[in-house]
Amino acid sequence: MKTDEYPRLQSLKKINRLMTLYYVQRKLQARLRPLAYVTSGAPVEILEAMGILTLYPENYGALCGARKAAVGLCQTAEAQGYPPDLCSYARSHIGAALAPREAPLRGMPRPDILVCCNNICGTVLKWYEALADLYDVPLFVLDVPYQRMTPVETHIVEYVAEQLGTCKK
């Protein structure tokens, strides 16, 4: 049986509508509020409490793949010098930023700030540095050391809290 012969999931149409609605709403809201692109692990609660809208380019990269647009967007990024061995989420999102008319939902709205947390993978820091250059917006990097022990090591909590301005020495 070929893969194109499998029946489509009943939920696929609903998921597509839901994701489209989500990004359309975010685009409209980004006209009224500052927008931050964030990585997973970033302190979105703090940003949202400050009235800053948040969006995840990683999720958008997955959307590009699901909508079968990632290959073309990755090629767009590669044509601009981004290496083909870079994560496809990063390449497809960068490709969407470079060529929004070719991207699902015409890309993500332009960010006002980038917030990157480096505790997930090595790619995000360079990805967000590239986005900071591309959009000419500030980049905040939250350095979160790998936590290998439980309970949480106090010096790690203090180190991260100090970066957020919540720890007094």
Q: What is the pLDDT of residues 151-161, one digit of tens each?
A: 888 888 888 88
Task: Please report, for the chain, the start and end positions of each structural domain, with discontinuous segments joined by +.
Answer: 31-163
pLDDT recorded at residue 151: 85
Q: What is the pLDDT of residues 36-47, one digit of tens each?
A: 999 988 889 999
Instruction: Return the SS3 of 54.
Output: strand
Q: Say which residues have a Cβ less than 8 Å from residue 61's Cβ, sequence separation at least 6.
A: 70, 87, 88, 89, 90, 92, 93
Q: Say which residues have a Cβ less than 8 Å from residue 1's Cβ, sequence separation at least 6.
A: none
Please, what's the b/e burial string for 142-158 (b: 16 or more CB within 10 A of its CB; e: otherwise)? bebeeeeeeeeeeeeee
Tokens standing for residue 23 = 């990004």
**AA identity, residue 3:** T
Q: pTM value? A: 0.85
The mean pLDDT of the chain is 89
pLDDT recorded at residue 36: 97
31-163 topology per CATH: Rossmann fold (3.40.50)
Whether 167 shows a pLDDT value over 70: the answer reads no
